Amino acid sequence: MAEKSQFPPRLRLILLAVLCMLPSLGEAYAIFWGDRHGMVGKALRDGLDFWAGGFLFLHHQLPILFNHTAYQAFLEGLYGRLPYHLWSYPPSYGLLAAGFGWLSPWHAVFAFDALSLLALALVLRFAGQSWWFVLAMLTAPASLESLMEHQNAALMTALLGGGLLLLARRPRLGGTLIGLATIKPQLGLVLPLVLLRRAPLAFAYAVLAALLLAAASLWAFGPAAWTGFMHYTSPMMTRVLLTGQPPEFSGGLISLFALARPLGVKAALILQALTSLAAITLALKTRSVPALLILSALACPYLHDYDLLGVTLAVALLIKDRLATGFAPGEPVLFFLVWFGPGLLPWTPQFAHAVPLVLMLLLASAWRRGGVPLCDSLPAPPGPPVSSAGRSRTPAPPGSTAPG
């Protein structure tokens, strides 16, 4: 009889998870070093935009927010020379950011990061996932990358992934969460028709939540906020996508569009459009939450490494299933690469072009044994049990030493 492995499966998974964290921890040290050596503005990274957008929305300084020269001057007046910065979200996201705009920049981003992780943990627990599952998600490389960039991937995964996991048992809550995810609409392109066809009640709640969120931002900031978004922010982000400039915004893209852009913008647009259309069509034919999360990533032309946290959730769900039903040849390596990838990409950006292919392989794996788990609001067919494992003067920001 072959000698049993020295390490039980759970311990091996823990050791692998710790190994996957190492590149991100090295990046965290570099950020800490920059902050300690006077590069606070650069160390804040995307968190600077989150705080600045919230601060300017809160104080109704929309002319600064929707003018790149004034916006850059505002930030550099606080922290000196900085890379290119741009507010790139709809006013509904500004409503969220404004809730933290009264804090100093570091306090704002750390509070947002902590609450986003808490929201992800609570939603996953409410959806029936174990604490081990939750801990794995919170320490995944994609989660750490989002944390260090002070991005919104944890919140978006709570809204989209949690919404999908809750559709079967709580369609009203699931639909509401997905509707709130319109703060970053490009990540949910495949979901509206899925909800409309499979979960009409959830679709109605998603539409209601999205409309109420937009109405709240209109009430809070006035029509100028949405006018500025449509006439300045949206065209600016389209220009970034199509031209690849500035590289601070477009250099980290990992979508199929970014892969095909060297062939020409027209060819890249056609390929991404066909892929997005195929993803939307395929999403209508599946009830698998992992498959829907992967299709959402493939359909999105504006995708960064931290946006792969939704795909990481798909991998976690697949691993949970395979631990009970068995892995196919090559699946452990595939799952490891997808889990490890977001932490490696900042160090080895040349591998970003492999992401679409890896996502397609992962999609094939997600479909190998049918839906895991079901996201249909209708009763699921019986199956074998699976074990769980002239503007006014701009106020000085809190904590700022700059003159008012």
What is the average per-residue pLDDT within 352-371? 86
How far apart are the C-alpha atoms of 211 and 199, rounded to whole Å?
A: 18
Phi/psi class of residue 264: alpha, beta or left (left: φ > 0; alpha: ψ in -120 to 50)?
left
Domain definitions of the chain by residue range: 9-366
* CA–centroid distance for 171 within its chain: 22
What does the pLDDT look like over 59-76, one tens digit per residue?
999 999 999 899 999 998
Reported pTM = 0.86
How far apart are the C-alpha atoms of 289 and 376, rounded to whole Å?
A: 9
What does the pLDDT look like over 171-214, one tens digit per residue?
999 999 999 999 999 999 999 999 999 999 999 999 999 999 99
**Predicted local distance difference test score (pLDDT) of residue 38:** 60
**Predicted local distance difference test score (pLDDT) of residue 36:** 66
Nearest to 34 by CA among 110, 148, 147: 148
CA distances, 377 to each of 38, 287, 388 (Å):
53, 10, 21
Find the radius of gyration of the CA atoms of the chain: 21
How far apart are the C-alpha atoms of 87 and 224, rounded to whole Å?
A: 15
Judged by average pLDDT, the poorest of 54-58, 328-332, 348-352 is 348-352
